[in-house]
Amino acid sequence: MDKELQDIQSWLAAASSFELPSYRELPGVPLYMEQVVEYINSALKPINPSNKDILTSFMVNNYVKADILKEPVKKKYNTEHLGYLFAISSLKRVLSMSEISMLIEMDKDVAADKSVLYGFFKVMARDILQESSKKVASKTQSFVDTYNNEVKANNPNAEQNLRDRLGLIALRLAVQAGVDSMISQMILDNVAKSVHGEKAYEFESTPGHHEVRRENKISLAESKRLAAVKKEKSKAEKPSADHKKEK
């Protein structure tokens, strides 16, 4: 557990000081798709908790098709595209494409200057990320101190207690994220009805048959994968359980 704990604390330390590049720091030369994907993923790597790419060329193509992003000029993406892709990459975990599209559609009412819009988002993202990661880091450190004391006292349940406490942090964060997401969706739903009208809102927020089928297939594949992992874990634990029984 010590390595995993070190990874958690290292990630939180990196997140607490992370900041998106400024608008002036974004590449001034238009980039091809592969360069765009590589640049965005590389810039977000310090706060990416998994090895999976946050952005793919498939996603970028879909954003262009949905008219969330402007068409690239001669297959090249400019500074404006990159700024929006940083924002979209942050929002896509909690917002649907239609919700992201509407927010981007509304940004013209905030400012015409894209550098101003990006700067506003950059500061907001930095402040929220730093505040949240520092709070979690502080709570985690208190649990680590308790864990170290339990280890010194030869408590056989020290590691399990630490896992349980870290799990509670994750659970609270997940519940908070879910509640915040619901509130955000409620507000955006009502704004969308006002901006686009009831009929347009209903059309854009109702998934089609193919979308539902795809979602069901993904859910089924995930359930099979999780069941397989639990089965393998059960097999690995069985010998030790049988060994205890023999004793």
Are 100 and 89 in contact by the 8 Å Cβ rule? The answer is no
- Residue 239 pLDDT: 62
Residue 21, SS3 per DSSP: coil
pLDDT of residue 2: 80
Is the pLDDT at 245 greater than 80? The verdict is no
Element (H, E) at 77: strand 76-77
Length, in residues, of the chain = 247
> Residue 46 has what DSSP assignment?
G
pLDDT of residue 193: 87
Angle between helices 158-196 and 114-152 (to 10 degrees): 160
Q: What is the DSSP letter of 20?
A: P
- Note every long-range contact of 95-101, with CB atoms under 8 Å and residues 24 or more positions apart, other chains counting: 95/184, 95/185, 95/188, 96/205, 97/62, 97/63, 97/66, 97/68, 98/192, 98/204, 98/205, 99/185, 99/188, 99/192, 100/68, 101/66, 101/67, 101/68
Amino acid of residue 58:
F
Based on the number of CB atoms within 10 Å of its own CB, is 119 exposed (0-12), middle (13-18) or buried (19 or more)? middle
Give the pLDDT score at 222. Answer: 75
Q: What is the mean pLDDT of the chain?
A: 89
| pTM of the predicted model as reported, rounded to 2 decimal places | 0.82
Residue pair 129/11 in contact (Cβ under 8 Å)? The answer is: no
The 10s digit of each residue's pLDDT in 214-228 is 778 777 887 888 788
Q: For residue range 128-173, what is the model confidence (pLDDT) as tens digits?
A: 999 999 999 999 999 999 999 999 999 999 999 999 999 999 999 9
Statement: residue 206 has pLDDT above 90: no
Nearest to 77 by CA among 55, 98, 92, 94: 55
Q: What is the pLDDT of residue 224?
A: 81
32: its two tokens: 């091809």
Q: What angle (nearest 5°) sits at the alpha carbon of residue 50, between those of residues 26 and 163?
A: 135
68-123, pLDDT tens digit by residue? 999 999 999 999 999 999 999 999 989 988 899 999 988 888 888 999 999 999 99
Instruction: Provide the 10 A C-beta neighbour count for residue 98.
Output: 17
